Amino acid sequence: MTYVLISLPFLLAAVSGALWSVLREKSRHGVTAARRQLKVIALVTAVVLVLTAVFDNLMIWAGLVGYGDGERLGWQLGLVPVEDFFYAIFVTLLVPALWKGHK
């Protein structure tokens, strides 16, 4: 099984949760609040992806982490397989959705 197939259900759940959260924000506080939430999610996602790229490259370079070639797509950013960024995307989409849903 590839890393993409393992990650896909989680990414779909995260996108669904984020969409639900934004739509809920829109119904409660209007379009402006929903747009603000989308901007915050986008900014946080960008920052976390940059940090992931930096630190994962360092960890792979140091030999702390390795990936099987047969389970990867083959696309990389430096030493980091693209699948490694899925966790960062999952977290930055789902955690705010759960947080907003709790309030």
**Between residues 72 and 78, which one has the greater pLDDT?**
78
When pLDDT is averaged across residues 53-69 and rounded to a whole number, the result is: 89
What would the 3-class secondary structure string for 25-94 be? HHHHHCHHHHHHHHHHHHHHHHHHHHHHHHHHHHHHHCCCCCCCHHHCCCCEECCEEHHHHHHHHHHHHH
Q: Which two tokens stand for residue 40?
A: 């915050």
**Side chain identity, residue 33:** A
How far apart CA 51 and CA 12 sit, in angstroms, is: 23
| 101-to-19, 23, 95 alpha-carbon distances in Å | 12, 11, 10
Amino acid 21: pLDDT: 87
How far apart CA 65 and CA 61 sit, in angstroms, is: 8
Amino acid 50: pLDDT: 96
Give the H or E element holding residue 103: none
When pLDDT is averaged across residues 67-91 and rounded to a whole number, the result is: 85
**pLDDT tens sequence across 4-56:** 888 889 999 999 988 888 888 898 889 998 899 889 899 999 999 999 999 99
Q: Where are the domains of the chain?
A: 41-97
